[in-house]
Amino acid sequence: MPLLTRFLPIAVILLLWEAVSRTGYVNPNVFPPVSEILLRWVQIFWDGRIYPPLWDTMWRALAGLTAAIAVGVPLGLLMGRVRAAEWFFEPLFSFGFPLPKIALIPLYVHWFGLFSLSKVMLIFTDCLFPIVLFTYHGARGLSSVYLWSAQSRGTGRVRMFWRVVLPLSLASIYDGVQVAVVVAVLVAVVTEMVSGGGGLGELMIRAYRFGDVRTAFAALLTVSLAGYILYKLAQWLRGRLLFWHVAEV
């Protein structure tokens, strides 16, 4: 039973938690027993209350992510292969990557409104940085042998881009996407906490206002699980798509 012993520490913590909050020394509304939190979690899935906010958060995260991939991958490839593009964009993206883009929420609300568009745009902005930078590093570090061999067969510039540079950069593009998936869910939740408009973030803030720890916790579990599943899905997809890739072996 290696799996069982492996997760024994978690079981111990959960049992302790349950015991402590049942002793009556702590306020059960502030620190409810685990069993009640799990019960609430099941409940909100059972009565369907969780689906609309879950859907809101997920589609915003995925829309922003998709837009970031659509813009970021071509831009990153361009930066990797064209000197002028590299000269202009590389410093901007390297400089901007560690900065807190979340600080732009008020500006984006002003530009794109209070509703979904401003959230999707911020997710897009935040995801763009890892995708562009990883794609750029992938396209930049390609082995020249592949390029030469394609060139010697008379491959045109455009074809070279799609048939040689893009496939060979896929592994690092995927590393960028892996990072961006996590960022997308996180930014989605933060924008919803700050400017409302439905979603798991708003659900949690509302739960906080009503002192409803159980729902806040259940929503947190939901968003963590959703983010985790998305991350694993991206990983799985990577294995399916890149099985042929030289860097994978």
Partner 1 sequence: MRIVPLLLLICAWQAAASFGVLPKTLLPSFFDVAAQLGAHVRSGEIFGHTAASFARAGAGCGIAVAAGVALGLIMARMRAVERAMEPILLMIYPVPKPAMIPLFMIWLGIGDFSKVAVIALACLLPVVVATFNGARSVDDMLIWSARARGTSEARLLWRVVLPSALPQIAAGVRTAIAIAIIVLVSSEFISAEKGLGYLIFSYGGVGADDAMLAIVIWLAALGYFLDRGYLAGLRRVMRWHAFAH
Residues that bind partner 1 (CB under 8 A): 6-7, 9-10, 13, 30-31, 87-92, 95, 98-100, 102-107, 109-111, 182, 185-186, 189-190, 193-194, 200-201, 204-205, 207-208, 211, 213, 216-217, 219-220, 223-225, 227-228, 231
CA angle 167-175-181, nearest 5°? Answer: 120
To partner 1, the closest distance from the beta carbon of 146 in angstroms equals 29
To partner 1, the closest distance from the beta carbon of 93 in angstroms equals 10
To partner 1, the closest distance from the beta carbon of 54 in angstroms equals 13
Q: Give the integer Cα–Cα distance in Å for 177 and 181.
A: 6
63 vs 181, which CB is nearer to partner 1?
181
- 111 contacts: CB under 8 Å, gap ≥ 6: 118, 121
Token reading at 179 = 């990072």
Query: What are the Cα distances from residue 176, in Å, to 138, 151, 182, 204?
Result: 10, 28, 10, 29
Q: Give the integer Cα–Cα distance in Å for 173 and 166.
A: 9
101 vs 238, which CB is nearer to partner 1?
101
Helix axes 105-112, 116-140, angle to 10 degrees: 120
72 vs 227, which CB is nearer to partner 1?
227
Expressed in angstroms, the distance from the first to the final Cα of the chain is: 32
90 vs 175, which CB is nearer to partner 1?
90
To partner 1, the closest distance from the beta carbon of 144 in angstroms equals 25
To partner 1, the closest distance from the beta carbon of 220 in angstroms equals 6
